[in-house]
Amino acid sequence: MKRLIPTAIALMGTTAVTSVQANEEVNVYSYRQPFLMEPIFDAFTKESGIDVNVVFAKKGLTERLKREGKNSPADLIFTVDIGRLNEVVEAGVVQGVTTPELEKNIPAQYVGPEGQWYGLTTRARVIYASKDRVAEGAITRYEDLAKPEWKGKICTRSGKHPYNVALIASMIANNGEAETEKWLTGVKNNLAQKPQGNDRAQVKAIKEGVCDLAIGNNYYYGKMLMDEEQSDWAQAVNIVFPNQADRGTHVNISGVSLTKSAPNKDNAIKLMNFLSNGPAQKIYAEQNFEYPVKPGVGPSALVASWGSFKSDTLPLTDIAKYRTLAAKLVDRTGFDN
């Protein structure tokens, strides 16, 4: 239990405290895994003396927030994937907020309508290609994945995973529904095995020779290189940022929203500001190998070594719009079967 030291409050320049009172706190519902968030929350508590309480789950938090209504204890909800961010807005459980700091730190394309969500990090959906079996430059676009020359050579996780759904939604937004359905069928025909496992497992499959190409998020590359057991997997592949010659690589975001009911609104906004500032953005970059949204905060040295890339400038809200359709296309093409 972190105990608040009254002197720390004094140092923080807050109003004089006459007696030791209950800790200042902020309550968080998080779809993001705790071990990604803990270092950042700890840094925040250290700096501000505000305790962060968390409930982590993979699903159901939006429903919980909705039903708890105006009495919900949650102040902030952390989500991964634009679809989810959009979902909390549509559920009507968050409120818009803006502060000079947020405005300064987070570029407009990563801010939801009226500040109902703020993107904190971006990640690119890249193609991993076998170093041994795929020549450099042999694959440069997402569209190439449907070409018959890759028959039996592609691995991916389930088409229904939010990361893939978002990618497919971006294809719909760029190329239209019919074209995307054709593309998806083409990719399905090229699969080496039924979609299974997570992004890392696809890279492992390349290492094992099951396939030559895989789709995955960029930060897993860094995480695998850092992991004793998994670094061999990562060593076996090159990272390819698709569509550099045209629209750019598909990126998705993780973000945060202020809830409508927020009982500790001030503290919640403090945490939001903190997350958008250099030090927290640095932690995201260094520990998770994601791309910070704050201009001027660079990615980690490792991530930077993969080179800079051009990202698709399509508004993220468009991707959110086509999410349900994307999920249906996965069903229609029998992608996961």
Partner 1 sequence: MYTQTNTLSFSRFFRNPWFMSSAFIAFMVGLPIIAVFYLAFYPEENIWPHLIDTVLPGYVSSTLILMAGVGSLSLFMGVGSAWLVTMCKFPGRKMLEWALLLPFAVPAYVIAYVYTDLLEYAGIVQGSLREVFGWTTYKDYWFPEIRSMGGAITMMALVLYPYVYLMSRAAFLEQSMSLFSVSRNLGHTPLQSFLKVSLPVARPAIAVGLSLTLMETLNDFGTVDFFAVKTLTAGLYDTWLNMNNLGGAAQIASLMLIFVVTLIYMERFSRRKQKQFESKNQGQSLEQFQLRGIKAAAATFFCLLPVVAGFLIPICVLGYYAFLYFDVSWTSDFVSHAINSFTLSVIAAITTIVLGVALAYSKRLNAKGITSLLVRFSGLGYAMPGAVLAVGIIVPFAAFDNALDDFLRQHFGVSTGLLLSGTTFAIIFAYTVRFLAVSAGSVESSLAKVTPSMDMASRSLGRNTFSTLIRVHLPIIRGGILTAALVVFVDSMKELPATLILRPFNFETLATHVYQLASDELLEQSALASLIIVLVGIAPVIFLSRSISSSRAKR
Task: Note the residues at the interface with partner 1 (CB under 8 A).
Answer: 27, 33-35, 53-61, 63-64, 67-73, 83, 87, 90, 158, 160, 162, 165, 194-198, 200-201, 204-205, 207-210, 229, 323-324, 327-328, 331-332, 334, 336-337
Nearest distance from C-beta of residue 155 to partner 1, angstroms: 12
Nearest distance from C-beta of residue 291 to partner 1, angstroms: 20
Nearest distance from C-beta of residue 67 to partner 1, angstroms: 4
Nearest distance from C-beta of residue 296 to partner 1, angstroms: 30
CB 117 within 8 A of CB 71: no
Name the 3-class secondary structure at 102.
Answer: helix
Q: In the complex with partner 1, which residue's Cβ is closer, 191 or 239?
A: 191
Name the E strands within the chain: 25-30, 51-56, 76-80, 94-95, 118-130, 154-155, 213-217, 237-240, 251-259, 291-292
Q: In the complex with partner 1, which residue's Cβ is closer, 138 or 201?
A: 201
**Single-letter residue type at 160:** K
Q: In the complex with partner 1, which residue's Cβ is closer, 65 or 102?
A: 65
Nearest distance from C-beta of residue 92 to partner 1, angstroms: 13
Listed in sequence order, the residues at least 6 apart from 161 whose beta carbon sits closer than 8 Å to its beta carbon are none
Nearest distance from C-beta of residue 310 to partner 1, angstroms: 28
How far apart CA 93 and CA 72 sit, in angstroms, is 10
Q: In the complex with partner 1, which residue's Cβ is closer, 35 or 136?
A: 35
How far apart CA 110 and CA 279 sit, in angstroms, is 19
Listed in sequence order, the residues at least 6 apart from 319 whose beta carbon sits closer than 8 Å to its beta carbon are 82, 83, 166, 169, 170, 173, 252
Q: In the complex with partner 1, which residue's Cβ is closer, 43 or 210?
A: 210
How far apart CA 125 and CA 242 sit, in angstroms, is 9
Listed in sequence order, the residues at least 6 apart from 336 whose beta carbon sits closer than 8 Å to its beta carbon are 158, 159, 160, 194, 195, 330
Nearest distance from C-beta of residue 337 to partner 1, angstroms: 6
Q: In the complex with partner 1, which residue's Cβ is closer, 102 or 330?
A: 330
Q: In the complex with partner 1, which residue's Cβ is closer, 257 or 311?
A: 257
- The backbone torsions φ and ψ at residue 137, rounded to the nearest 5 degrees and listed phi first, read 85, -5
